């Protein structure tokens, strides 16, 4: 797991640690010391800790003019044991919401498991953004992760669309990725 880095190709144009509005502003990374772990497996030091014991993230892109953020995750999303959604909402999302971010792209290629519990923080997040035209979209989830989200009816808050679950996002620029997803959701809402 220590060799899986957060996506880095957009770093020339945006990094959360240099963004004064980011919850990770000013963070310094040790490229040689591995301190964070998911269970017994160390992870790459570029991943950001937001208070979960088994889930880490990287804010890959924020566009304050278009009001969207792209966030990549690694690990086990566990709301039952660690209330990961509460930590995410309070320690990351609330800060971004306060800066006008209302559209979220959550990249789940490296989310290995998902354990749902109460939906109240998902609902709170959804309620914070829906009146402004916001949305939360998950892309590239493993099938069993998507199944868990659907089983617990979290798809009311998190858009999990088959058409967006095999998105080759690493070859795209962030604005292009956003336009594809935003356009897809607009077309789908017309049906």
Query: Tell me, what's the pLDDT at 30?
Result: 86
Q: Give residue limits of the domains in the chain.
A: 16-190
* Block residue for tokens 């620029």: 173
Q: Residue 49, Cα to own-chain centre: how many angstroms?
A: 13
Q: Which stretches of the chain score pLDDT less than 70?
A: 191
* Block residue for tokens 């304050």: 64
Backbone φ and ψ for 168, nearest 5 degrees, come out as -85, 65
Give SS3 for 123.
Answer: helix
Query: Tell me, what's the pLDDT at 120?
Result: 97
Handedness of CA 69, 73, 79, 81 (dihedral sign): negative
pTM of the model: 0.97
DSSP element (H, E) containing 61: strand 55-63
Query: Tell me, what's the pLDDT at 32?
Result: 79
Note the pLDDT tens digit of each residue in 88-127. Answer: 999 999 999 999 999 999 999 999 999 999 999 999 999 9
**How far, in Å, CA of 92 to CA of 87, rounded?**
8
DSSP element (H, E) containing 80: helix 79-82
Give SS3 for 155.
Answer: helix
Q: Which CATH superfamily is domain 16-190 in?
A: STAS domain (3.30.750.24)
Query: Tell me, what's the pLDDT at 33?
Result: 81
Q: Is 36 left (phi over 0), alpha (psi -120 to 50) or beta?
A: beta
Query: Tell me, what's the pLDDT at 188?
Result: 87
């Amino acid at each position: 797991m220590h060799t899986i880095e957060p996506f880095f190709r957009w770093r020339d144009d945006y990094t959360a640690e240099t963004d004064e509005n980011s919850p990770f502003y000013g963070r310094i990374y040790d490229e040689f010391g591995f301190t964070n772990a998911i269970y017994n497996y160390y992870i790459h030091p570029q991943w950001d800790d937001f208070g979960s014991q088994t889930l880490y993230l990287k804010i890959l892109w924020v566009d304050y003019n278009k009001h969207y953020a792209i966030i990549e995750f690694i690990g086990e999303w566990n709301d039952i044991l660690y209330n990961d959604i509460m930590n995410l909402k309070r320690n990351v999302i609330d800060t971004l919401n306060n800066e006008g971010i209302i559209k979220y792209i959550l990249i789940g290629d490296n989310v290995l498991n998902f354990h749902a519990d109460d939906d109240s923080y998902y609902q709170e997040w959804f309620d914070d953004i829906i009146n402004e035209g916001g949305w939360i979209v998950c892309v590239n989830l493993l099938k069993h992760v998507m199944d868990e989200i659907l089983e617990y009816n979290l798809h009311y808050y998190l858009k999990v669309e088959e058409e967006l679950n095999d998105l080759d996002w690493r070859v795209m620029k962030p604005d292009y990725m956003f336009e594809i997803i935003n356009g897809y959701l607009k077309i789908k809402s017309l049906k």
